[in-house]
Amino acid sequence: MVRKRLSVAFSAVVVCVLLATLLSAGWPSNADAYVVSGTVTNNSSKTGRTYLFVNYSGGHGTSIDSSGAFSISGVPSGTYTVTAVMDTRGDGRLFASDPTGVSASFTVASADKSGVDITLTNPSVPPPPTPSWLKVMPGDGSAGFMWDIKTSGSNNFLIADHYNLYWSTSPSVLFHKFLA
């Protein structure tokens, strides 16, 4: 029960940090800020909340329930794309297997920009790699395990959503196996 509460609390913190980053980082305070709007179409078989962000250092973004219309306020003049990622687990953690999409490049120039459309598709995800290190901390009638968490490419999305660890108390078994 404690583990579940900690997992829920951790997930809530992740969602809050993600939303704070997407919705408030670097918002311009001048009059040169516009609205980018468009539509997200979901061509995947998955459902969940969709997070969208304008790709530039200011990090403007929003989220919508699934697919449909979106608008992102406070975008300064410039040339951008919008990236969309669906949170299929509903906990704020984004995985490499979650549907994603990127708009075509567009320019915001002294006016709001509409018609920025994004299609979410299921990405091709390689099988999760075996963790490169494992630490076992034996205890009295128990053991603790730690291993590295693998992420994909430049977006740092998690590749595996769980690992199965198999072990034996028999000294003749010299085998650790990780599966995702």
The domains found in the chain, sorted by start residue, are 2-120 (2.60.40.10), 134-179 (no CATH)
Residue 133 burial (CB < 10 Å; 0-12/13-18/19+)? exposed
- pLDDT tens per residue, range 121-167: 998 877 777 777 778 888 887 888 887 777 766 566 777 766 776 66
pLDDT score, position 10: 43
Which residue type, as a one-letter code, is found at position 169? T
DSSP-derived secondary structure letter, 160: -
Give the Cα-Cα-Cα angle 157, 68, 78 (nearest 5 degrees): 70
DSSP-derived secondary structure letter, 121: B
Other residues' Cβ atoms within 10 Å of the Cβ of residue 79 = 11
Q: How confident is the model at residue 14 (pLDDT cuts 50, 70, 90)?
A: very low
Rounded distance between C-alpha atoms, residue 44 and residue 98, angstroms? 9
Q: Whole-prediction pTM value?
A: 0.65
Q: How confident is the model at residue 22 (pLDDT cuts 50, 70, 90)?
A: very low
Helices marked H in the chain: 2-24
Contact present, 87 and 19 (Cβ < 8 Å) = no
Which residue type, as a one-letter code, is found at position 110? S
